[in-house]
């Protein structure tokens, strides 16, 4: 699986143990359908949410990553994102920031050694931003493995999910939804980890074991996924663990383009 060096988008996680309760059939108010409706209501309101993610493991050429940022919504879903990502790479620490507004994308990234030397920079001048447009890899989509993606939630709901008392997370009483779905395609693009349902479209596929904690308003508070990447031709599987926390639903968020004098078309 090939990944862009010091890619961005998704964010650092607070690791918290949450008690679970007895599994039970979810009443309508606690179903994943209700979660999707609550999320889409936030989309329609042009609301926002802050998030953090932590990823570990995965196929060769991926690095452990943590990131943090915010999403702005419109009716169709995520319209804008501002994400800072940190990766630990063989040469040193990678840091990148990406701002996506519609189909406009701005980014700055570097890898720095322990001694402080820049191993790699994009653009070549620190503090500047590269600019691109209509870059499919950075756009939010229905193929993302994410607890606020209606496309993913509809997929897992169709493969069976259980509901339980999720305990209290950050002072909020939660319901825990969970399950496992196996997909023929697993991958990555700059917007995040992806899934596909078409056979033969990727060298990687496998099961996704997921958990989603939602509050009384049915809005996600935490998402956990374990992905088992298996090559289509067989062989040993690679495991990736991903945790996402969502905070500040509806809290005003401003996502704006960098100043024009700092933008370059250099890649």
pTM: 0.87
CA nearest neighbour of 191 among 247, 135, 230: 135
CB 223 within 8 A of CB 146: yes
Is residue 139 over pLDDT 70? yes
What is the C-alpha separation between 27 and 150, in angstroms, rounded? 19
233: pLDDT confidence band, cut at 50, 70 and 90?
A: confident
**Exposure b/e, 102-129, CB count within 10 A at least 16 = b:** eeebbbbbbbbeeeeeeeeebbeeeebb
pLDDT at 266: 78
3-state DSSP: the chain helix, strand, coil percent, rounded to 5? 10, 50, 40
Strands 238-247 and 48-57: what pairing? antiparallel
Q: What tokens does 213 get?
A: 């904690």
265: pLDDT confidence band, cut at 50, 70 and 90?
A: confident
Instruction: Give the pLDDT confidence of 86-124 residue by residue, as tens digits.
Output: 998 888 999 999 999 999 999 999 999 999 999 999 999
The residue count for the chain: 267
Instruction: Give the pLDDT confidence of 23-36 residue by residue, as tens digits.
Output: 333 333 358 999 99
């Amino acid at each position: 699986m090939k990944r862009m060096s010091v890619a961005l988008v998704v964010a650092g996680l607070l690791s918290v143990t949450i008690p679970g309760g007895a599994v039970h059939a979810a009443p309508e108010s606690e179903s994943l359908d209700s979660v999707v409706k609550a999320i889409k209501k936030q989309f329609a309101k042009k609301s926002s949410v802050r998030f953090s993610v932590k990823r570990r493991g995965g196929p060769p050429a991926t690095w452990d990553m943590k990131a943090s940022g915010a999403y702005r919504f419109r009716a169709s879903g995520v319209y804008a994102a501002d994400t800072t990502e940190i990766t630990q790479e063989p040469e040193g620490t990678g840091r990148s920031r990406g701002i996506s507004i519609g189909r406009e994308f701005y980014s700055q990234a570097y890898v720095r050694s322990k001694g402080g030397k820049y191993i790699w920079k994009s653009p070549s001048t620190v503090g500047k931003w590269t600019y691109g447009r209509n870059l499919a890899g950075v756009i939010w989509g229905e193929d993302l493995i994410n607890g606020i993606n209606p496309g993913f939630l509809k997929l897992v709901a169709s493969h069976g999910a259980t509901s339980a008392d999720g305990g209290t997370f950050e002072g909020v009483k939660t319901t825990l939804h969970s399950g496992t779905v196996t997909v023929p395609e697993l991958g990555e693009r700059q917007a995040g980890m992806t899934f596909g349902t078409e056979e033969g479209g990727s060298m990687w596929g496998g099961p996704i074991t997921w958990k989603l904690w939602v509050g009384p308003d049915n809005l996600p508070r935490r998402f956990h996924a374990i992905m088992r990447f298996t090559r289509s031709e067989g062989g040993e599987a690679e495991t990736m663990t991903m945790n996402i926390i969502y905070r500040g639903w509806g809290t005003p968020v401003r996502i704006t383009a960098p100043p024009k004098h700092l933008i370059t078309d250099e890649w």
